[in-house]
Structure 1
Amino acid sequence: MPPPSQIAFRPFRFVHTADLHLGSRVMSLPGADQKISADLADATYGAWREIIDLCIREAVDFLLVAGDVYDSADKNIRAQLQFKEGLKRLGENGIAAYIVRGNHDPDDAWSRSIAMPENAFIFSSKEPEVVIHRDQEGRPLAAIAGMSFATAYIRDNLAEQFPQREEEWPYTIGLLHCSVGGARGHEPYAPCSIQDLRQCGYDYWALGHIHQPTVLDSGDPHIVYAGNPQGRDMGETGERGCRLVTVGADGAVEVEDVRTCGHLWKEIEIDVSGSEDLGILEEEIRRNLAMVSEEEGVSVVGRLILAGATTLHRELVAKGGIAALEDRLIEDPPAGRYPFYPERIVCRTVPVIDRDAALARDDILGEICRQSDLAISSEDGRSRLREEISSLYQSYAQVYTSGLDDEEFDAIIREAEGLLLSQLSEGGEE
């Protein structure tokens, strides 16, 4: 096979998306009104419409969908119909779609009564297929090799089954739902390595399965996870969208991230050091949140982290200050062009106490500091306390979290220390 630099290309464009999860549950917000709840419930459909609008607006040659169109466990017929409607719009504008199925929407999960439009090509789950996409004059633009999941639990390395690029193929794309290198936090479905992908000799790998937008290789070949186009909870923060790819006549590739999310999930830390008045603190929080939404240019669902040393620490933690601020932000959201919705407020403030002086004391305050240091630094202490705290997570929070990581554990210990120091240094008054 000649090197890519010796292969003649025709310029073209395509959009790469994956992990639409149409109709999947978006985390609800405490106290949210009916409109907000409805907007969040339909957020994945809105992102799909944005992708279709982008394809039509940019007059791309084709769309690639790298699996997990919807969550088959939900048996969501609406999601399948919405997907079909988007593909139909593409067809009306002369745009093809090439689709592989993933672990959430394998072959055996799709309704046989919903036929996809003629412009949509769905790759086989029996073996990789190769399709040559041609322009309106019949000239070849791209070779697309893809393979779907037959069932939800594919543990085989599908990448090893993909054919080597042939000499006469034009710009060549691999389309696959897979786990490259055992990505953390995702089931290792269709596991493979970067080398498995490189050895095929393709120009671009359009991947799905990993929800965090990720570029594994930026050339020779491009290996790209598009990520999911709409975040659904605080585990999917930051920009979410798809990739608009332009291939030049010389084979040069430009990959552009395009936002498609109608709601952006974000963690926001606000330094409240020196704050002494709860009313003034609320005003400062509102200004910060309005500024964040304005900068992002889209609706923001945020988790607020209040940090810093403040005399308000005890009032925030022990006297209902955090709950009051949450209620106020829900009842009267921060003003601005773009809405801000609080997911929750986490208090990581500390009391205005000289911790070094407390640590040197030979009394209960010093012992609290020493025990919290030991809990963080000692493997035995960490193990014992993690077991106790993790049991609470499993009992009450397992629906919302995958577990307790090291950063969260350390934060819990320091928050507990701060609360005890604050209570005891002020006489424990209620």
Structure 2
Amino acid sequence: MGVPFTFIHAADLHLDSPFKGLAKVPAVVRERLRESAFVAFRRLVELAKRENVDFVLLAGDLYDAADRSLRAQLRLQRALTELAAAGIQVFAVHGNHDPESGRQAKLDWPEHVHIFRSGDVECRPAYTRSGELAAHVYGISYPTPAVTENLALRFNKKDGAPFHLALLHANVDGSAGHDNYAPCRLEELTASGFQYWALGHIHDRRILHEYPHVVYPGNLQGRSIRETGAKGAYIVTVSDAGSVLMRFKDLADVLWQEIKVSIEGIEREQELKNRLMQAVEELRKDADGRPVIVRVQLDGRGALHDRLLQPAVVEEWLDELREWLGAPEEADAWVWPESINVRTGCLLNLEEAANEEGFLGELLRQGLAAGGQAEQSKELLEQALDRLRSHPKVRDWLQQSSPELRAEWIRRAMELSVSLLREDETA
């Protein structure tokens, strides 16, 4: 039997993230985003004090860059000093964004703060606020940005504590879309004897396993449209018998969201405007007073499809939507449309049109045939994108794209072709 205790598990703070690609957004949006990671971390500190947690675990990428800014280092020092003054221990590791090899200012850290070094896995005692031993915390930092070794294999429990927590920045089971640093397998973690693996690196919130717990809390603040929805940390309560209760707390300062608006059943632009405004206002209402950056996806099949494909039409819709919503300077809870993507379809039944005689029918027959066969669809796209294949990202996309995705792109190309050919006929 142990003692009950509570801790916060957070990761991927990315303090002072530059938020690239913001040159064309209003200054108030740009400045709010640049400060958002600090605000989210400030909320984490306030949460730890309000919940009277015993300690905090930070699982890597505290800073956004190896050569961390002085501003980020001083703000982290101030926040951790505040936690230490409240009797809250902090255990942290460095990840691939902020390895030990990066440039660091010479700063003093409070006694209650322990940042694990690279080299060997360290074991440190974690205490309750009343001074009782709660757990052993183990961790190791990245020495350099690209660590390809399975660091999880270095973790070994030491006797003397009722609960054992492992703090690691890693990619479990080769999660797609993330650099495969410190790669390890879930079965290795669950068989290690540790009761809780506090992970970082994956920016999505994931509980990979329970008893033992293997957990990614995600990052504190979304940094792009690829990181949508609530972002924050877990409050973890452990009973004296070792049972684990987890509560997620949304700490993000700015929300990134994607919404879908269908054109089905509408024929007039006014109806589309009404749907867009309704969707965005619902988004604003659900944001709990926080600003939102949103990407709108138009989907469904409808009469407006051909008009949405006209040159510059989508940009006009985007400009007008921003105008209707008002300037971000005029409200704290602003909504900024980042882009509008058109994924709509025409009302024409391609399968029926493929039975027609002539060029259009033949084009559709070949397209439908290619879309239904994996190898043929890949060959058709490679031919269509031949001039672009020298570009590494295009080449990788062709290699990695699924048959379903290729079929979808071929279908959309056919619909665009139909729209353009019909436009020529009526010109």
Q: State the TM-score, normalizing by the size of structure 2.
A: 0.90
Equivalent position SS for 2:261 = strand
* Counterpart among 152, 174, 187 of residue 182 in structure 1: 174
Conservation of the 8 A alpha-carbon contact between 1:165 and 1:201? no
Counterparts in 2 of 1:274 and 1:192: CA distance versus 1, 3 Å: same
Equivalent position SS for 1:414 = helix
- Please tell me the residue identity of whatever aligns with 1:355: L
Q: Which moved more, 1:252-261 or 1:271-280?
A: 271-280
Deviations, residues 120-140 of structure 1 (Å, cap 9, x unaligned): 101121211111112344321
Residue 255 (structure 1) aligns with: 246
- Cα distance in 2 for residues equivalent to 1:402 and 1:359: 26
- Please tell me the residue identity of whatever aligns with 1:247: V
Residue 412 (structure 2) aligns with: 415
Equivalent position SS for 1:72 = coil
Conservation of the 8 A alpha-carbon contact between 1:299 and 1:339? yes
Percent identical among aligned pairs is 33
Residue 135 (structure 1) aligns with: 128
Shift of 1:9: 1.9
Deviations, residues 2-28 of structure 1 (Å, cap 9, x unaligned): xxxxxx121111110111111123254
Indicate whether 1:377 and 2:372 are aligned. yes
Counterparts in 2 of 1:66 and 1:428: CA distance versus 1, 3 Å: farther
Shift of 1:162: 1.1
Structure 2 residue ranges without an equivalent (≥5): none
- Cα distance in 1 for residues equivalent to 2:271 and 2:170: 50
- Please tell me the residue identity of whatever aligns with 1:18: A
- Cα distance in 1 for residues equivalent to 2:221 and 2:248: 13
Indicate whether 1:39 and 2:35 are aligned. no
Conservation of the 8 A alpha-carbon contact between 1:272 and 1:306? yes
Shift of 1:389: 4.2
Residue 271 (structure 2) aligns with: 280
Residue 3 (structure 1) aligns with: none
Counterparts in 2 of 1:395 and 1:190: CA distance versus 1, 3 Å: closer
Deviations, residues 123-171 of structure 1 (Å, cap 9, x unaligned): 12121111111234432111111111122222222111111352x3122
Indicate whether 1:150 and 2:143 are aligned. yes
Deviations, residues 71-94 of structure 1 (Å, cap 9, x unaligned): 334542222222112112212222
Conservation of the 8 A alpha-carbon contact between 1:237 and 1:267? yes
Counterparts in 2 of 1:195 and 1:22: CA distance versus 1, 3 Å: same
Conservation of the 8 A alpha-carbon contact between 1:72 and 1:110? no
Shift of 1:262: 1.7
Equivalent position SS for 1:348 = strand
- Cα distance in 2 for residues equivalent to 1:354 and 1:334: 40
Deviations, residues 30-87 of structure 1 (Å, cap 9, x unaligned): 8521101111122212211121111111111111001111133454222222211211
Aligned pairs (5 A) from 1:4-403: 8-28=1-21, 31-73=24-66, 75-166=68-159, 168-218=160-210, 220-297=211-288, 298-333=290-325, 338-378=333-373, 379-386=375-382, 388-389=384-385, 392=388
Shift of 1:419: 2.0
Shift of 1:212: 1.2
Q: How many corresponding residue pairs?
A: 419
Shift of 1:264: 2.2
Q: Which moved more, 1:266-275 or 1:24-33?
A: 24-33
Taking only aligned residues, the RMSD between alpha carbons, in angstroms, comes to 2.7
Conservation of the 8 A alpha-carbon contact between 2:67 and 2:102? no
- Please tell me the residue identity of whatever aligns with 1:353: L
Shift of 1:391: 6.5
Equivalent position SS for 1:372 = helix
- Please tell me the residue identity of whatever aligns with 2:25: A
Conservation of the 8 A alpha-carbon contact between 1:30 and 1:343? no
Q: State the TM-score, normalizing by the size of structure 1.
A: 0.89
Conservation of the 8 A alpha-carbon contact between 1:165 and 1:202? no
Structure 1 residue ranges without an equivalent (≥5): 1-7
Conservation of the 8 A alpha-carbon contact between 1:68 and 1:102? yes
Equivalent position SS for 2:325 = coil
Q: Which moved more, 1:290-299 or 1:150-159?
A: 290-299
Deviations, residues 349-399 of structure 1 (Å, cap 9, x unaligned): 22222323211112222223223323433314424414754965986989x
- Cα distance in 1 for residues equivalent to 2:424 and 2:105: 70
- Please tell me the residue identity of whatever aligns with 2:361: G
- Cα distance in 2 for residues equivalent to 1:108 and 1:390: 42
Equivalent position SS for 1:108 = coil
Residue 5 (structure 1) aligns with: none
Residue 422 (structure 2) aligns with: 425
- Cα distance in 2 for residues equivalent to 1:95 and 1:265: 31
Counterparts in 2 of 1:126 and 1:368: CA distance versus 1, 3 Å: same
- Cα distance in 2 for residues equivalent to 1:50 and 1:420: 51
Shift of 1:114: 2.6
Equivalent position SS for 1:191 = coil
Shift of 1:239: 2.2
